[in-house]
Homo-oligomer: A and B are copies of this chain.
Amino acid sequence: MTIRAGLVGLGKIARDQHLPAIEKTAGIEVVAVASRNAQGEGVSNYPNLDAMLAGEPELDAVILCQPPQVRYQAARQAILAGKHVFLEKPPGATVSEVEALVALAKARNVTLYASWHSRYAAAVAQAKAWLASRTIERIDIQWREDVRHWHPGQPWIWEAGGFGVFDPGINALSILTEIVPEPVTLLSASLEVPQNKDAPIGAALKMATASGAPVEAVFDWRQTGPQTWDIAVETGNGRLLLSEGGNMLRLDGEVQVKAPDEEYPAMYRRFVQLTADKAIDADIAPLRLVADAFLCGRHCPTTAFED
């Protein structure tokens, strides 16, 4: 059986990642698109989810690629219509709404997949396996990139609730919570908020594993030149360095994995399997750590930023 999927929100991420990945994946095809301003080729097109659900009663699944602010009501509507749901990251604008979706998907017996693409980077599974048998002593995360390059002309990322630098930072937290074999909790945070914005451009987080190992993270959107997406783990038995956002792995300095990003095809293989089992995969841990960082974070005003 092939899953007939409808995609909502035909923007950059949908065109760059979702559609090519679905092309490569057995067991799923896009038969309809709902988008206000864009049209998909070779599929039925609708102006919004309402119209798509009404016009395509045979849809099995809905893929939600819109900004997280409008994702909850759409996901709820799709689940209530009996559809499996694929959520781009972050799975919602708040922790409460993702919890509500999980409860609803369970009650309606449909698949809910909260995708975290960085968890499918080439070296993450091997990093997780290597750490499983070791004692973690400390973890340092450096996630530094140039917001002007990655988010040109996106004013909503700077609004309250727009996540700011946690938009990339949550990718680091999604890898962290995947590879560490016990819960990670937040101890304190400082958030650098430009005087002309409502969301942080930089953040420093102090966390800990349940066993007490320190975990420190620095997120910064003011990096020009080379970009940095590194997670370094010291253990009682060797040192791990995940870099390039999880696509390169060094163990005690020796390169073990260096591979191109194949994250989205891996996610769609996962989604096809989940729908076959009507299973839920919606780990809220990365989003919870972000909410906790805002809950406990000290706001530090910083220089105005013009993007």
Contact = CB atoms under 8 A, between A and B. Distances in A.
B292 A183 contact: no
Interface in A157-205: 160-161, 183-186, 188-189, 193, 198
A188 B156 CA distance: 14
A95 interface: yes
Interface string A88-104: 00000111110110011
Interface stretch (A29-37, A120-128, A282-290): A282-290
Contacts of A285: 96, 99
A210 B291 contact: no
Counting every copy of the chain, the complex holds 2
Interface in A212-246: none
A264 B161 CA distance: 36
Interface of A: 72, 76, 93-97, 99-100, 103-104, 160-161, 183-186, 188-189, 193, 198, 210, 285, 288-292, 294-299
Given A72-B185, A160-B298, A291-B292, 6 more contacts: A94-B296, A97-B186, A104-B210, A160-B188, A160-B189, A160-B299
